[in-house]
Amino acid sequence: MKVTLLAHTPEPEKIIAAAAKLCYSSSSIDGLMGGLTPEKTGSFIEMLSEIGHESPIEHVTFTFGIEGVSRAFLAQITRHRMASYSVQSQRYVRKDQFEYILPPEIEQIPEAKEEYIRAMEAAQEHYDRLADLLKARHNEEFLTQGFSEKEAARRAEKQAIEDARFVLPNACDTKMVVTMNARSLYNFFRHRCCNRAQWEIRAVAQEMLRLVSEEAPTLFSHAGPPCLSGACPEGKMSCGKMEQVRRHYGELKGQTI
């Protein structure tokens, strides 16, 4: 798994502070950025957190490149709808010798790992065979329709892998570009940094949080699972490791605990 912070709103904390300043003062638009020292900017950010005024933080966005994750991960992250996603297509990209994600629990058991690898190899064999069979049929059809050999082959390839992909497993790797505003990121971290989140999306969320905390430490100082700032809301489903979780996220964000 690899997460890269590709881009973000310049001076994100200052932009949020300017938006908050507009809400609570008579400043003109021209004067919004004036006087926003690091201290005053941090004060605005903390004030917004204390009073629960979240809309100003929607003005900044962060764009990530995520790779080495599974299609199962894709199904989970796209449930966070206040975001923009661009995902490598299995319809247009042929998966020759596809990479796959190996769950740690399976990797720890030799017999399970062996069974898993066999399943991945079988999926590749079925995919390749289906793609070849479908491509041959479609190629004949396109040639009959008068397309050149090159164009017929191109169209046949696309149409073949469109259907062959149905046998690819959830473990098949994918990559994507994801953009979220800071408010959506807070929600994402609240749900996916929790120990009860699935291991793969939790690992990605933690790395995303580490990256944004480097760029906007005050803004994301309270971000993470809900137990960082209060009691665990999971009730009897709690992991029971609140102090360990708090230490972990403090270290991840470079905070003194």
Q: Which residues are catalytic?
A: 192
> Hunting for tokens 């969320």 — which residue is that?
205
Structure token pair of residue 211: 């990256």
Check: CB of residue 62 under 8 Å from CB of residue 234.
Answer: no
Sign of CA dihedral 63, 64, 65, 70: negative
| Integer CA distances (angstroms), 251 to 46, 135, 194, in order | 20, 53, 16
Closest by CA position to 54, among listed 45, 63, 62 = 45
Whole-angstrom CA distances from 228 to 40, 95, 194, 217, 237 are 25, 41, 10, 15, 17
Phi, psi of 209 (to 5 degrees): -65, -40
Cα 70 from Cα 118, distance rounded (Å): 18
Residue 180 is inside which H or E element, if any? strand 173-181
d(CA 183, CA 82): 9
Contact assessment for residue 85 and residue 35, using Cβ atoms and an 8 Å cutoff = no
Place of tokens 């300043």: 21
List for the chain the helix, strand, coil content (%; round to 5): 55, 10, 30
Classify residue 97 as left (phi > 0), alpha (psi -120 to 50) or beta.
left
